Amino acid sequence: MLINALHAKTGGGVTHLRAVLPYLAKDPRLEIHIVMHQSQLLRFEPLDEGIHPHLVSFRESYFRTLWWEQVRLPLMAWRLGARVTFSPANFGPIFAPRPVIMLRNALAVGRRDWRPRRWVYWSVLTLMTMASLLRARRAIAVSDYARRALSFGLARQRIAVVPHGVDPAYSPPPAGAARGDFLLAVGDIYVQKNYLMLIEALVIARQTHPDLTLKIAGANVGDEYPGQVSDAIKRHGLGDAIELLGSVDRDRLVALYRDCALLVFPSTAETFGHPLVEAMASGTPIASSNQAAMPEILGDAGIYFDPLDPRDMAAAIGKIINDRELAARLGIAARERAKRYSWEKAARDTADILVAAGS
């Protein structure tokens, strides 16, 4: 099997591959080769024994990666004798042997982005997703929402839902430990994460809770949207109330989930939402957007709001910080629901699908 990791550069794509690779490497049915750009290797080291890396080097850009993936990668797969080519992204090399793709990148945000370069990007992504889905032997969706939203009505019988898991490191704080009083948001800073609306909600919430603060853990993606976020913080005079932490490692993220008053998840377009299950496993109360896959993943273990209505978002935040009993109940419900999500099970189900596709 050849794993096409060229698109696993940030966020959930890296989280997923790092989590399932150790389990896949132990499966005696699989001989694993993985192709990635040499700049990606540090994100995945150390690779488990039995995984054969193939590092490629070209000047990175979206369309150069696309060309390499569609032209050079199939030749590599055929040369290696791969029975299956697995692309854990919406699309992969169309002419590679027995392609399997993973439907995990939300396309809905592209319908609201009319900047010329971004419109081209989202249009190509949509077309490649459709073409790859038509060609794929099997497809994996990370949620039922992803299966419905990204199937285009095509070949649904070949799409299996395999939810992602959660790292065991995410666990509740010690019994009796007091939580902090800050809000936490987790996710890289780009448009569908909806941080501008979260800032507006914080302004409203601080009218009744003037000491309320927010920490955002996530790397800047591009320049335009992170710049808008920084401008909004300055415009509202929130420089002392909002802390942009940038990308944080797992240990610090574990501590943040345990210490915060609640996680606020304002995203408008998610097919899964790793911060949700990480916070759930940590027993963290959650106020979440009611759109996309969030209700499917979180269930009744959170308080929901309209992510396009800052007053509704502020009201959801207020419900939790004003009611300690509610916060405690939400934390208990979140921990229980988190038991549904296991990387070991996700890897086992993925391996079964890959083996079936290769037979």
Which residue has 């054969």 as its token pair? Answer: 52
Q: How many other CB atoms are there within 10 angstroms of residue 187's CB atom?
A: 23
Q: Which helix (H) or strand (E) holds 71?
A: none
Q: How far is CA 7 from the centre of its chain?
A: 13
The CA dihedral of 88, 282, 251, 8, to the nearest 10 degrees, is 10
pLDDT digits (tens, 9 = 90+) for 311-353: 999 999 999 999 999 999 999 999 999 999 999 999 999 999 9
**Closest listed residue to residue 304, CA positions, set 282, 337, 330:** 330
d(CA 75, CA 77): 5
Give DSSP secondary structure letters for 179-229.
P-SEEEEES-BSGGG-HHHHHHHHHHHTTT-TT-EEEEE--B-SSHHHHHH
Q: Which helix (H) or strand (E) holds 244?
A: strand 242-246
Domains of the chain (ranges plus CATH)?
2-165+342-358 (3.40.50.2000), 182-338 (3.40.50.2000)
Q: What is the pLDDT of residue 120?
A: 79
Q: What is the pLDDT of residue 223?
A: 83
SS3 sequence, 86-100?
EECCCCCCCCCCCEE
**Closest listed residue to residue 128, CA positions, set 87, 88, 153, 91:** 91
Q: Which residues contact 300 (CB under 8 A, 6 or more apart)?
A: 333, 337
Mean predicted lDDT score pLDDT of the chain: 94
Q: What is the pLDDT of residue 330?
A: 98
Q: What is the pLDDT of residue 222?
A: 82
d(CA 204, CA 145): 31
Give the chain's residues under pLDDT 70: 108-115
Q: What is the pLDDT of residue 356?
A: 96
Q: 107 vs 161, 214, 268, CA distance in Å?
A: 18, 28, 11
